[in-house]
Structure 1
Amino acid sequence: MRCLICLLLLALVFNPAFAQEKWDLKRCVDYALANNISVKQADVQARFDKLTHDQSILALYPRINSQHSAGFQFGRSIDPTSNQFTTNQILFSNHGLDVGLDLFNWFSKKNTIKANDYLAQASVARLEKAKNDVALNVANAYLAALLNREQINVNKVQVAQSREQFDNIKKQVEAGALPELNEAEAETQYATDSSNLLTAQTNYTLSLLQLKALINLEADAPFDIEVPPVEAIPVEALADLDPVIVYQSALENLPQQKINNLTLKASEKNVAVAKAGLYPSFSFFGGLNSRYSNAQRTIPNSFQTINVPVGTVDVNGVAYPVTSPITQPLGFDKNTYFRQLSNNFSQNVGVGVNIPIFNGGVARTNWQKAKLDVENQQLLKEQDTRTLKQDIYQAHTNAIAAVQKYNATKIAVASAQKAYDFAKKDLMLVCCNQSTLS
């Protein structure tokens, strides 16, 4: 018994709350919105979806790519400039520039841009929802901490009453007015109330830890909450709200409803995107290419024509020589790197058609899946709408019950205070009478 009382006194003396800086609800919510991990993740996802939308817009522009390569060839290979077999070691390089543009693909890119735009807006609404959820969770944890703190005050009063009752009964036992059993029972009640006070203080500490976790504050950081005045809370106005009006306003303004509407629109656009894969698409392409090889070190710069004997013709016993003119290089220039690039420069341009004939049913399956996704999003929207309505009407009913209970409790507290005052006076009279008789 004495150990329990000592523990209670230590808890009261070394309660860390007395030196803490007070945090009100607004400060807790603001800190949570700036530091909560879930909010930061939702913000990252919103920026990610915005980049996806921006990229789908850039997909409308032509694709331009440049390729460059260089290397060595060993052993028997083909000279990339003369297309002849060679066994020499060759240093080569290739350069190219390709251009591509989708001319018509049944508005696939246009619908993709619109779908990504809806998803980006849904991510922004999802970020707003994450902030609302964090604010609501922080408010609930804050109220729970206030309740636990108030429970400490209630238990302190209970301990004080038990102590006072124990002292009075002890005096009566010493005076012989009551048996010692009453003193033992009063002491037991005092110990029980002291234990309940320690439990309440522990629960309050745990609720503060939970609140710090929600706002992403270190567990060992100094922290305590400010107790707002009860008079500042508009309790009576809660029951005056019409749930029908609240429900209609929630459908238009709550982030979750915006998310459902935008996601459904994105799914409908994705159906059009998937259907475009069933039809032919038309594209434009073009390119520039050139190459170099050190196997072609020189090129002729001048030529001469000579007659080369190819045989004889016998005419009347006389052999006349037969010649054939051929052209052969007379002088050579170095075939430099940039000269080869200029001489080997080539261009191409054209139009392509891609006709899907059979690809294992992938395109048609994707189209069917996209339509099923629309149905799924419609069901999710309907489910969330029903849940929202149920929550609003349930919250309205709980609010009315809470107000009524609050008013009834105030009357009960006033009555209990009167009864306690009367009982205290009666007890003092009994003690005085016992002292007089003694």
Structure 2
Amino acid sequence: MINTKVLINAFFAMAAFTTVFAEGTWTLEDCLKQAKKSSLKLESAKLREQSADISVKQAKTGNYPTVSANIQNTLYDHPYVYNEDHYRLNLGISGSYTLWDGGATSLNVESKTLTKEATALATQQTERSVQESVLNAYMSLLAASENLRTADASVELAQAEFEHYTKLYEAGSITKKDLTQSQSNVLQKQTSQLTAQLSVSTAKTTLRQLLELDDNVEFQISAPETNIESPDSLEALPTYEQLKADAQNAHPGLKSDSVSIRAAQKNTQVAGKGSSITVTLGANSSTGLQAWQSKAYKDQLKYGWQNSITLGINIPIIDGGATASKVLQAQVSETESQVSLKEDLKTLENNLEKLYLNAMSADMQWKAAILQVQAESEALVVAEEQRNAGALTYTDFLTQKNNLEKAQITLTNAKYTSLLSRKLLELYQGKLD
């Protein structure tokens, strides 16, 4: 019979094979950097940031005077008047400057500036979201790749066992049933191998799309994380209180909500200025001529030149409730911003609590899975001895082998669940920025 200890050692040697570090491979840091540079979600967020910057510039124009020139050509006719020229030309330049609007322009500039700041923080939150997606895809690909190596090892061992059993059958040492079961085991392992290959392909596609790489680009990941054998070799988890404090201080979304509330308060004040007195200073310089064939163009332009200056005062009396409606609408927006902050704070707290418990649970599951693999390995050695002594059927022996493979897959999943939870906690603490 095949030496089971040799099989177990070969199995773990292949299953623990790590990704080779080579040129063209991607580390987690490379993936995060690429996502920041190429993510379409981030690109959209940056465009919104640019739009907010333009809004600030537009708001500031309210503090500047306006100047315009006009040229008006007119053709006219009086049916009962004879000997008229039918043409009039008016030229002019005018300007205006708002001396007082109750502070509405200044408040609007402050509001737009705060909105720009909130948008920039929202961009940082979008970046966090993209990083979280990359982390999930990256760890999923690592786990799928390691499970594929386990499946590859299982197929090779099953094929080697089938070849060995074929020789034993030809020598009359085993029954046809045992040989058929061994062949069936090879087919089952090959099916599991195909499933594992599909999982790797799906995980790689997800990561590639997050990195905005072309579908014809071949890339591999190089991960030092695969060499970590136990959670005991990792840094201890922080206390939940420390984690919560760090996450709240480093969360761009909460900061964005806080700034948005201040911007909404400014908008409420701007809306209230609709009933304020407005004082405007205006100036105008104009001239013109009226003739079709007249030779006195120069004199008309000279003596028709007129300069004027005006001071306009607008006093709102009745606006049909427009100002009151704008104030109420602004107050609703302000309340919505406050509610959004509270909701985001609760969401963050819930996510942190789940992540923290998941990290602690994953560490314990990882340790338990290590012990389970060791136990199943020892059980397989015993099963091999019983099989050689004729005290165990081949079916029971295969069951024990499958138990070892399941334990190895459980170990892999627990390991990368733990690593993912820890990385996500670091992300929430702002350590990956």
Distance 2:218 2:230 in 1: 31
* Partner amino acid, structure 2, of 1:195: T
Task: Give the equivalent residue in structure 2 for 1:112.
Answer: 108
Which of 256, 259, 272 is residue 256 of structure 2 equivalent to? 259
Bigger shift: 134-143 or 419-428? 419-428
Aligned residue for 2:340, secondary structure, equals helix
CA contact (8 A) 1:32 1:214 kept: yes
Task: Give the equivalent residue in structure 1 for 2:206.
Answer: 210
Against the structure 1 CA distance between its residues 277 and 210, is the aligned structure 2 distance closer, same or farther, given a 3 Å change threshold? same
Q: Within the alignment, does 1:186 sit opposite 2:174 as a pair?
A: no
Which of 318, 328, 331 is residue 368 of structure 1 equivalent to? 328
CA contact (8 A) 1:75 1:87 kept: no
Offset, 1:250: 2.1
Aligned residue for 1:187, secondary structure, equals helix
Matches within 5 A, 1:28-427: 28-69=31-72, 71=73, 73=75, 75-76=77-78, 88=84, 90-231=86-227, 235-236=231-232, 240-295=237-292, 297=294, 334-337=295-298, 339-424=299-384
* Partner amino acid, structure 1, of 2:313: V
Offset, 1:189: 2.2
Distance 1:124 1:157 in 2: 50
Against the structure 1 CA distance between its residues 363 and 189, is the aligned structure 2 distance closer, same or farther, given a 3 Å change threshold? same
* Partner amino acid, structure 2, of 1:336: Y
Task: Give the equivalent residue in structure 2 for 1:21.
Answer: 24
CA contact (8 A) 2:276 2:316 kept: yes
Q: How many residues align?
A: 371
* Partner amino acid, structure 1, of 2:247: A
Offset, 1:88: 4.9
Aligned residue for 1:292, secondary structure, equals strand
Offset, 1:232: 5.8
Distance 2:141 2:340 in 1: 35
* Partner amino acid, structure 1, of 2:130: V
Against the structure 1 CA distance between its residues 232 and 114, is the aligned structure 2 distance closer, same or farther, given a 3 Å change threshold? farther
Against the structure 1 CA distance between its residues 171 and 28, is the aligned structure 2 distance closer, same or farther, given a 3 Å change threshold? same
Aligned residue for 2:224, secondary structure, equals coil
Bigger shift: 388-397 or 407-416? 407-416
* Partner amino acid, structure 1, of 2:269: A
Offset, 1:376: 1.0
Against the structure 1 CA distance between its residues 229 and 252, is the aligned structure 2 distance closer, same or farther, given a 3 Å change threshold? closer
* Partner amino acid, structure 2, of 1:43: K
Offset, 1:155: 0.7
* Partner amino acid, structure 1, of 2:354: Q
Distance 1:66 1:416 in 2: 90
Distance 1:193 1:212 in 2: 28
Task: Give the equivalent residue in structure 1 for 2:411.
Answer: none
Looking at secondary structure, tell me which structure has more helix per residue: 2
State the identity as a percent: 19
Aligned residue for 2:348, secondary structure, equals helix
Distance 2:275 2:216 in 1: 61
Distance 1:233 1:291 in 2: 91
Offset, 1:429: 7.1
Using CA pairs under 8 Å that are at least 6 residues apart, name the structure with larger relative contact order, 1 or 2. 2
Distance 1:195 1:111 in 2: 68
Looking at secondary structure, tell me which structure has more strand per residue: 1
CA contact (8 A) 1:99 1:287 kept: yes
Distance 1:234 1:100 in 2: 74
Against the structure 1 CA distance between its residues 166 and 95, is the aligned structure 2 distance closer, same or farther, given a 3 Å change threshold? same
Aligned residue for 2:275, secondary structure, equals coil
Against the structure 1 CA distance between its residues 426 and 276, is the aligned structure 2 distance closer, same or farther, given a 3 Å change threshold? same
Distance 1:201 1:89 in 2: 90
Offset, 1:177: 4.7
Q: Cα RMSD (Å) of the superposition?
A: 2.8
Distance 2:150 2:89 in 1: 87
TM-score (norm 2): 0.78
Task: Give the equivalent residue in structure 2 for 1:12.
Answer: none
Offset, 1:85: 5.8
Gaps in structure 1 of 5+ consecutive residues? 1-16, 78-83, 298-333, 431-438
* Partner amino acid, structure 1, of 2:341: K
Against the structure 1 CA distance between its residues 193 and 87, is the aligned structure 2 distance closer, same or farther, given a 3 Å change threshold? farther
CA contact (8 A) 1:20 1:224 kept: no
Against the structure 1 CA distance between its residues 351 and 155, is the aligned structure 2 distance closer, same or farther, given a 3 Å change threshold? same
Offset, 1:364: 1.0
Offset, 1:231: 4.4
CA contact (8 A) 1:20 1:222 kept: no
Distance 2:117 2:228 in 1: 37
TM-score (norm 1): 0.77
Encode CA deviations 1:182-213: one digit per residue, 9 max, x unaligned. 32232222111101111211221222111111
* Partner amino acid, structure 1, of 2:201: T
Distance 1:271 1:421 in 2: 77
Distance 2:186 2:35 in 1: 41
Offset, 1:279: 2.9
